A and B are shown apart, each in its own frame.
Chain A
Amino acid sequence: MTPLPHHDKKTEDSGLALSKELLDALAKFKEIELEDFELIAPELELIWEPGVAGQMMPKLKIPGLMAKPTALLQAAFMPPIQTYPGKIAEVKLGGTKGEGGTRGKSQIVGGETSPAFYTFESPLAHPPTITLDVFDMEVPLSKAVKMHVKEVIGDPAAWAKLAVEKFGADMVTVHLISIDPLLKDATPKDAVKTVEEVLQAVDVPLVIGGCGDPVKDANVFAEIAETFKGERFLLSSITQDMDVERCAKFAKKNGHAVLSFTPMDLNLARELNRRLYDFLAPEDIVMDLTTAALGYGLDYAFTNMERARIAGLMGDNELAHPMSSGTTNAWAAREAWLKMSAEWEPRELRGPLWEVTTALTLLLAGVDLFMMMHPAAVKTLKDVTNKLVSGSKADPSKYANWVSVKA
């Protein structure tokens, strides 16, 4: 299409719409070099007569600049398609029966070749996966969440069943909170037992969550990795201050994937991934760049993830991993759970909407795996991603009349 010059006012009689500023400038500066002129009005189409430049005003021939048009001028929009040298690694989670595990089916995360939902450019490789949080002991939960799970608190197997059968989870995260030395200090054997129960209860792939103690987590992960060789768990998570070599080795040996967790710093993320590459393939690593709640640092999380994804696609292999988000962190925002004055109530809606908003923001940054909590938030994220991957199906006639709708 032919881009048009900017213009504000029309000159009186000619109908030639051209910026007065620009005309003045042209009249005033008699010497106009091509380069300079382009700086002033880069899109003007100029016809230069050889030998004339540098003398007087150049002759301008500006197509399309007529009196007020009487019919629609046609222009074409060129979809701005780009290609990328990089591709996000594909990580398979959950070992099926044929693969030495017991899962009904696997989940694949990652594999993107474009930024998140640029489906005008290339289709999404795999829709995002949702894994629901299950805790192995009582933890503080907001009221809006608790009302949906109160029957199963303290019973991880029943909780997992509820998450899969009722809430539609693709996966389940078993948070082994009780192994925390500062809490119950449960043993690796206890943890194995919990995982065994959950494996029996559901047939989706599992994420195994630790307590945050670098030594205890490594010990427990080691025991679980060996006991459940072939199940291809996602071990959540491996951090800088753990014995990275040991963890990577037992993951590799027993066919599990790891979640490489770093606190909102892409350099640290690259560094940890590099340490893991000595033992693991890119297809064994999902990364967690830290999720902060809407209102409490989501901006940092969003930009960090968007940057990482673009860097990965542009060929930075150390960041070309699928991304996981602890979206449950949305509940750390007080607006998600606090009883507020009447105009902001009910919190039973505000809370899950907080989680949804956090999730959708990060969905658009490129997150592949969501660790979530509230059933309504899970359902919404599923609906939205299904719609986003279903392709070009807008029916303008259905929504174009919003102006006159009597809502």
Chain B
Amino acid sequence: MSKKAGTKELSPIDIYKLLPKTNCKECGQENCMAFATKIVNREITIDQCPPLFKKENEKNYLKLKELLKPPVKEVVVGVGDKAKKLGGKLVMYRHEFTYFNPTAIALDVTDEMPEQEIVSRVKRTENFSYEYIGYTLKLDMIAVRCTSGDAEKFKAAVKKVAETTTLPLILCTLDASVAEAGLMATPKANPLLYAATTENWKDMAELALMYKCPLVVSAPNDLNKLVSLVKTLITYGVTELVLDPGTFMNEGLSDTINNFTMLRRAACKGGEELAGFPLMGVPMVAWVDKGDAADEIVKWKEAYMASMLVVRYADVVVMHGTDGWSLLPTAVLRQNIYTDPRKPVAVAPGLKVFGTPDQNSPVFFTSNFALTYYTVASDIESAKLNAYLIVVETEGSAIDSGVAGRKLTAERVADAIKASGVESKVKHRKIIIPGKASRISGEIEELSGWKVQVGPRDSSEIPKYLVEKWQP
């Protein structure tokens, strides 16, 4: 029977059978089988096999398209290089396959904010940037909300935002005439229109068709209505949809998590096409019942709601708080959840050279847990130090858990120093060890014969430490 991308049994053979099988190498691969393997791993797309476009291969091409179609549709918002792909998920669980298209994070502005506040919030969103083990974490979109109820005001606000940024927009209003004013302000920007409801769906559908933009379908806590709307809109001709089952704080938390989970399971495991669209979460509902609560409390709630939604299948989230402390955990979590789970936990042990060290340069060691290694390496690199770093085999354990779990032992450190050949590269015999390995410092001295200097507990302090404590 037919297989689909979401069911992970898709094998290279399934793909191979449908390829031209000429091994012509036009795709840049050695042969069709190699191409099929890359397809299954989603490293390339079938459009990279030119012979597939020949007339006689059309049938197979269409079969391949269907076979590879993700159970959650990919919907594009915005234009140009900042355009954002939402959804496109192949699987429900991360261990089944990589999640594609990290949850887009949108911050909001309203049409009643003074112009300079709009501009400063947009700039803040655009300039949010955090360097994290070789990645730059960014925010993705601006949601413009109509709080005035006035079409002209909304139009002016959308115009201002569109002038200020090329980030994709979400136009938020349930009033179609207001929405139209917003679309007129930025007719070619392919914004995400929020939202079609059981009340306004016809007018919103017309707008989505006229402006060729994607449309959010909103049916708060009513999945029957939600799929009814989806069915109706698809029949109407609107196919680029995003689903909003509602985000509820407090007593509504359970329903929120259940709705997101059910929709994604229905799409990925049940083949339910009406559920097979990107999902929108709205952590900013935390601001709706703010009451007398301090802003910090609301930001805190909004932040943890966003993180739970990132874990439970949201493809786009709308937030209001702009503080770094509250946005950073969600941004880092998103990066974590969307990394390729096939990425190894460990890096190869051995000697790593930074800058142009000489025989007086410092020698450090760290564990071979990938994240520990990349953190230390990026700290040494960004401080432009000349140094040797010995990566000790710890079976992928970090320093503290390695020491506790006997994966990082003095024996292993001593062996690693020997094997690294660093003895012929430096004159001194001093090794700077991670502060978190201080417990085994005595044993390391004994077994390696090197003098141990206990370094900082965190590698960000290495540059300062060298200035204060390092003498060859």
Contact = CB atoms under 8 A, between A and B. Distances in A.
B198 interface: yes
Contacts of A64: 231, 235
Interface string B255-294: 1111001100110011011110000001011011110000
A133 interface: no
Interface stretch (A4-12, A83-91, A224-232, A247-255): A4-12
A379 to B, nearest CB: 11
Given A394-B252, A404-B149, A4 B234 contact: yes
Interface residues of B, number: 120
Interface in A338-359: 338, 343-347, 349-350, 353-354, 356-357
A312 B52 CA distance: 44
Question: Is the contact region of chain B dominated by helix, strand, or loop, or is it mixed?
Answer: helix
Given A40-B63, A77-B227, A353-B303, A361 B232 contact: no
Interface string A55-89: 00000000011101110111111111010000000
Interface stretch (A94-102, A147-155, A186-194, A303-311): A303-311
Interface string B93-128: 111000000000000001010000000000000000
Given A7-B239, A263-B401, A302-B337, A388 B253 contact: yes
Interface string B220-247: 1111101111111011110100000011
Interface string A286-305: 00001010111111101100
Interface in A387-407: 387-396, 398-407
Contact of B311 (A6, A364, A396, A406): A364
Given A182-B442, A183-B439, A77 B308 contact: no
A39 interface: yes
Interface stretch (A112-120, A164-172, A200-208, A271-279): A112-120
Interface string A102-134: 000000000000000111100000000000000
Contacts of A400: 218, 220, 246
B251 A393 contact: yes
Contact of A3 (B63, B249, B272, B345): B272
Interface stretch (A21-29, A46-54, A313-321): A21-29
A25 B246 contact: no
Contacts of A294: 329, 332-333, 336
B251 A401 contact: no
B66 interface: yes
B433 to A, nearest CB: 14
A349 B231 contact: no
Contacts of A119: 254, 258
B2 to A, nearest CB: 5
A395 B59 contact: no
A17 B237 contact: yes
22 contacts: A17-B237, A28-B59, A38-B1, A38-B2, A39-B63, A70-B202, A119-B254, A263-B396, A295-B336, A300-B345, A302-B336, A306-B93, A329-B401, A335-B328, A344-B130, A350-B324, A350-B329, A380-B304, A387-B251, A393-B251, A394-B220, A402-B282
Contact of A306 (B94, B218, B266, B274): B94
A281 to B, nearest CB: 26
Closest 7 CB pairs of A and B: A394-B252, A396-B220, A212-B404, A394-B255, A407-B287, A77-B223, A350-B325
Contacts of B230: 75
A404 B249 contact: no
Contacts of A13: none
Contacts of B218: 400
B173 A69 contact: no
A284 to B, nearest CB: 22
Given A75-B227, A392-B254, A399-B246, A360 B307 contact: yes
B405 A239 contact: yes
B254 A387 contact: yes
Nearest to B145: A403
A245 interface: no
B60 to A, nearest CB: 10
A43 B262 contact: no
A28 B369 CA distance: 56
A357 B304 contact: yes
A400 B335 CA distance: 29
Given A17-B235, A69-B232, A354-B329, A406 B112 contact: yes
A41 interface: yes
A338 B130 CA distance: 14
Nearest to B263: A77
Contacts of B375: 296, 334
B194 A69 contact: no
B311 A264 contact: no
Contacts of A4: 231, 234-235, 273-274
Interface of B: 1-2, 4, 58-59, 62-63, 66-67, 93-95, 110, 112, 130, 132, 145-147, 149, 172-174, 194, 198, 201-202, 205, 218, 220-224, 226-232, 234-237, 239, 246-258, 261-262, 265-266, 269-270, 272-275, 282, 284-285, 287-290, 296, 300, 303-304, 307-308, 311-312, 320, 324-326, 328-330, 332-333, 335-337, 339, 341, 345, 369, 371-372, 375, 395-398, 400-401, 403-407, 439-440, 442, 457-458, 460
Q: In the complex, which of the residues A239, A241, A361, A401 has the most CB atoms of chain B within 10 Å of its own CB atom?
A: A361
A223 interface: no
Nearest to B441: A182
Contacts of A74: 224, 228, 231
A394 B246 contact: yes
A391 B296 contact: no
Given A21-B62, A264-B345, A356-B304, A396 B254 contact: no
Contact of B288 (A310, A354, A399): A399
A405 B254 contact: no
Contacts of B333: 294, 298, 357, 361
A111 to B, nearest CB: 18
B291 to A, nearest CB: 12
Contact of B289 (A29, A297, A393, A398): A398
Contacts of A403: 145-147, 172-174, 194
A384 interface: yes
Given A76-B224, A353-B325, A360-B308, A303 B289 contact: no
Given A79-B223, A302-B336, 15 more contacts: A35-B2, A38-B2, A68-B235, A68-B236, A73-B235, A78-B272, A80-B270, A117-B254, A119-B258, A183-B439, A295-B332, A299-B339, A302-B311, A357-B307, A403-B147
A354 to B, nearest CB: 6
B194 to A, nearest CB: 7
Contact of A77 (B4, B252, B266, B341): B266
A25 B62 contact: yes
A97 B12 CA distance: 62
Nearest to A349: B325
A197 interface: no
A80 B262 contact: yes
Nearest to B402: A263
Contacts of B266: 77-78, 80
A65 B58 contact: no
Contacts of B407: 263
A361 B248 contact: no
A398 B284 CA distance: 13
B132 A392 contact: no
A10 B403 contact: no
Nearest to A261: B405
A332 interface: yes
B329 A263 contact: no
Contacts of A388: 253-254, 257
